[in-house]
Amino acid sequence: MHYEIGQFVGHVPIAEPVAVPVTPRCWCMLSVTPGRDARVVRRLLDRGVCAYSPIVVRYIDRRTRIETRKPHLGKRVERPFLAGMVFVPDFDVDNPAIRRVDDVGDWLTIDEGRFAMLRPGDMAVVRGIVGAMNKPFSERDYAVDQMVQIVDGPLAGFVGQVKRLDSHSRLKVFVDALRGVSVQLSETQVEPVPASALAATARRQKRKRSERP
């Protein structure tokens, strides 16, 4: 076919394969050499094998060698959430490329040799936990001196005041009703006290003080 400069031409669509995302039915657990988790994941991905190793990020102060709340003051350190364990989706379990990667061990199994696995809902929980652990202090759901209500555990129903936050999504809560006891709780065990409830509590306390002889 001959074309000339200035000639108008049309567009001819060419059929191309369309990539369709595959949703895992479950994630199987592959043991790897501890400390080589990130390297194994990179090599698996390079060979076309889907793999996931949850990472927890910490910032270590260069002078004191302890964890710091301010990222710009520390060195970024990444550690696996489950050391020595990599998650592989079910559709890649039989991929022969897995055995061509160094530092790969055996599949984690349970009774009768069945694969130990996490369903999508379980994996969502793992991702949620890791996401909460990696959330910067400036973006935490709670703050020091905030009033919270305990919703889980033996102290459910009590109201306390947040006194300290740590980097593992835990809170130190001061419960005045228990004669000034401080307890350590996870963020999932508390919820913010609504402003209306705080106002009602303040009115009750004021009324009690006024009724005293």
pLDDT attached to residue 138: 61
**Which ranges in the chain are annotated with CATH 3.30.70?**
27-139
- Low-confidence stretches of the chain (pLDDT < 70) are 1-21, 67-73, 136-139, 167-169, 196-213
pLDDT attached to residue 93: 92
**Which ranges in the chain are annotated with CATH 2.30.30.30?**
147-211
CATH of domain 147-211: 2.30.30.30
The third-level CATH classification (topology) of the domain covering 27-139 is Alpha-Beta Plaits (3.30.70)
DSSP the chain: ----TT------------------S-EEEEEE-TT-HHHHHHHHHHTT---B--EEEEEEETTT-SB-S-GGGEEEEEEESSTTEEEEEGGGTT-GGGGGSTTEEEEPB-GGGPBPEE-HHHHHHHHHHHHHHTS-GGG-S--TT-EEEE-SSTTTT-EEEEEEE-TTSEEEEEEGGGTSEEEEEEGGGEEEPPHHHHHHHHHHHHHHHHH--
pLDDT attached to residue 201: 64
- The model scores a pTM over 0.85: no
